Amino acid sequence: MIDALLNARVYDLEQPRYAGLPIHPAHEPGVSLTLHRRHEKEAAESRTGASALLVMAEHTGTHIDALCHQAYDGVMHGGVEATPAVQTPTGFTELGIDTVEPIVRRGVLFDVAPCASVGVAELEACDVEVRPGDVALVRLGSGALFGDPEAYLAAGGVTAAASRWLAERKPFAVGADNVAWDAIDSSDPELGSIPGHTILIVQSGIHIIESLYLEELARDGVREFGFVCLPLKLRGGTGSPVRPIALV
């Protein structure tokens, strides 16, 4: 097993993090990294140290949503009400990202690119099997636009119908190479804005991973892989930045 892991091809599925990266308007200002210690030539000794202050929202860049991230009529997944005892000033006491174990699962890729609105027909055409507990990733092709924030934010998303189709297959998590899984301006007559978040997180207890980089997986024709993703143990957090990888 160790030899298989060491010999596996590793695909890095994280987008770079930097000031000015494309981000959903609800999570601005994004990333700020500022040096507060620097290497100085006239220091007290020859050895010097440098370190930086990192400030960013949980849902910045490549990240995973906790189940407390969404509620419908004030109720989160499993019937947990977002009361002051649960939703505290310092985080959630239930369903926080710190409750998510390290993710090591079978992953599958639905490569529908180029596509601005991913429906059931697009997913079915990929002929990919999703098993319960899998991580199902969807490539719209928008990951290649990450360096152009305006184009990236306008790249579309997964429809409510496609989210329901995936939820029926009971994956542990889904993910996409766009900013919000759903299209930013998407709406459903019953569920309201970004309906996939309600369908997947609130109704089904399925995590969403956003702003993935899937170009190399698609280029090499990879459709099934080992998926590894380690959310930070941010106590009570609504999400976490992640650096997911695919092992083939």
Bridge partners of residue 75, in order along the sequence = 72, 81
Task: Pick left, alpha or beta for residue 134 (phi over 0 → left; psi -120 to 50 → alpha; otherwise beta).
Answer: beta
Q: Give me the residue spans of the domains in the chain.
A: 2-15+58-247
Q: CA-to-CA distance for 18 and 194, rounded, in angstroms?
A: 26
- Residues in the chain, overall count: 248
- Report pLDDT digits (tens) over 132-174: 999 999 999 999 999 999 999 999 999 999 999 999 999 999 9
Q: Give the domain 2-15+58-247 fold.
A: Glucose Oxidase; domain 1 (3.50.30)
Q: Give the tokens for residue 139.
A: 């490539």
Per-residue pLDDT tens digits of the chain, which is 248 residues long: 888 888 999 999 999 999 999 999 989 889 999 999 999 998 999 999 999 999 999 999 999 999 999 999 999 999 999 999 999 999 999 999 999 999 999 999 999 999 999 999 999 999 999 999 999 999 999 999 999 999 999 999 999 999 999 999 999 999 999 999 999 999 999 999 999 999 999 999 999 999 999 999 999 999 999 999 999 999 999 999 999 999 99
- The b-or-e profile of 62-99 (16+ CB within 10 A means b, else e) is bbbbbbbbbbeeeebbeebebeeebbeeebbebbbbbb
Residues near 22 by beta carbon (within 8 Å), at least 6 away in sequence: 146, 148, 149, 152, 153, 179, 211
The pLDDT value given to residue 1? 84
Q: CA-to-CA distance for 140 and 160, rounded, in angstroms?
A: 15
Q: CA-to-CA distance for 53 and 84, rounded, in angstroms?
A: 31
Q: What are phi and psi of 181, to 5 degrees?
A: 60, -75
Q: Give the tokens for residue 202.
A: 């609130």
Asked if 239 and 67 touch (Cβ cutoff 8 Å), the reply is no
